[in-house]
């Protein structure tokens, strides 16, 4: 029995996230089907993260056990014969038996892209949030620095019946807001993320740009442990799982 780690990237625009769902297309379903076409098995595959509908991945990791003897280096090309154009297998390698794509992860990096042009760009629809009001990326970056370190991110998490319990502490290792022409990119790396955490942080930083929240208020919002104190949840369009660390 082998344990294989496969790294893929995907366009999430037409998917309802990674996880298999009833009556909705998912990345996991398409990957499982391609894997079956290659190895003739349907192993229990482990994804590194639960991405939401419309969210993209520049790097997404999957692990599974199999007795198939295909060399790992040949697996990506074999998978890409059967994967849709929206998903591409990038690499594969054998890993230790106890490796788990999700639980062995040491951290992740997300990026959120905001197209700050005055006029909508049709080629960016679904791939970047169109925000036509002027953005001061330096002000947003100064506000973002308050998220660095270990905090309870209850104020920056969507809580439902499945997420009322647990440890809401996470450590943000790096965060920045940068501009390249009309594209503003928010980059955030942490040891883990709560449900909608990145999108709520983005929504809050946009409110600092609007003058509705002062950068110095971020610590108060964190300490409040109250979702209502933070900004709105930004749309999924501009969100990408960018890197996964093991």
pLDDT in tens, 27-46: 999 999 999 999 999 999 99
Q: Rounded CA gap, 89 and 91, in Å?
A: 6
- Give the chain's length: 246
pLDDT in tens, 146-172: 999 999 999 999 976 555 667 899 999
What letter would DSSP give residue 40? S
Domain-embedded: residue 100? no
Regarding whether 227 and 138 lie in a shared domain, the answer is yes
CATH classification at residue 189: 3.30.70.660
Q: Rounded CA gap, 21 and 17, in Å?
A: 9
Q: What is the pLDDT of residue 245?
A: 98
pLDDT in tens, 204-244: 999 999 999 999 999 999 999 999 999 999 999 999 999 99
- What percentage of the chain reaches a pLDDT higher than 90? 91
Domain-embedded: residue 165? yes
Map residue 199 onto helix, strand or coil: helix
Catalytic residue among 11, 30, 44, 52: 52
Regarding whether 29 and 132 lie in a shared domain, the answer is no
The predicted model scores a pTM of 0.93
Could you tell me the residue range of the domain that residue 210 belongs to?
A: 107-245
Active site annotation includes 237: no
Q: What is the pLDDT of residue 112?
A: 98
Q: What is the pLDDT of residue 162?
A: 53
Domain-embedded: residue 102? no
Q: What is the pLDDT of residue 23?
A: 81
User: Within 13 Å of residue 184, how many CA atoms lie on the same side as its CB?
Assistant: 23
Which residue, 146, 136, 130, is CA-closest to 201? 146
Domain-embedded: residue 195? yes
Regarding whether 87 and 40 lie in a shared domain, the answer is yes
Local confidence band at 24 (pLDDT 50, 70, 90 cut-offs)? confident
Regarding whether 72 and 158 lie in a shared domain, the answer is no
Regarding whether 62 and 9 lie in a shared domain, the answer is yes
- Phi, psi (degrees; rounded to nearest 5) at 95: -130, 170
Q: What is the pLDDT of residue 78?
A: 98
CB 51 within 8 A of CB 198: no
CB 185 within 8 A of CB 109: no
Regarding whether 186 and 80 lie in a shared domain, the answer is no
């Amino acid at each position: 029995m082998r344990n294989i780690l496969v790294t893929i990237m995907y366009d999430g625009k037409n998917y309802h996230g990674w996880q298999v769902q009833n009556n909705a297309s998912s990345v996991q379903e398409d990957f499982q089907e391609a894997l079956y076409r290659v190895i003739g098995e349907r192993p229990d595959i482990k994804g590194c993260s639960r991405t939401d509908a419309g969210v993209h991945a520049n790097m997404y990791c999957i692990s599974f056990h199999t007795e198939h003897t295909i060399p790992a280096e040949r697996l990506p090309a074999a998978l890409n014969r059967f994967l849709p154009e929206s998903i591409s297998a990038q690499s594969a390698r054998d890993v230790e038996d106890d490796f788990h794509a999700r639980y062995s992860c040491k951290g992740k990096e997300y990026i959120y892209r905001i197209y700050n042009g005055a006029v909508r760009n049709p080629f960016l629809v679904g791939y970047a949030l169109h925000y036509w009001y002027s953005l001061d990326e330096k002000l947003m970056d100064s506000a973002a620095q308050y998220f660095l370190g270990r905090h309870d991110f209850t104020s920056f998490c969507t809580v439902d019946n499945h997420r009322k319990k647990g440890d809401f502490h996470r450590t943000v290792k790096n965060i920045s807001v940068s501009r390249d022409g009309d594209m503003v990119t928010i980059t955030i790396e942490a040891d883990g993320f709560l449900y909608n955490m990145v999108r709520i942080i983005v929504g809050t930083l946009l409110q600092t740009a609007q003058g509705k929240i002062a950068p110095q208020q971020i610590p108060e919002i964190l300490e409040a442990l109250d979702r209502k104190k933070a900004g709105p949840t930004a749309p999924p369009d501009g969100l990408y799982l960018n890197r996964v660390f093991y």
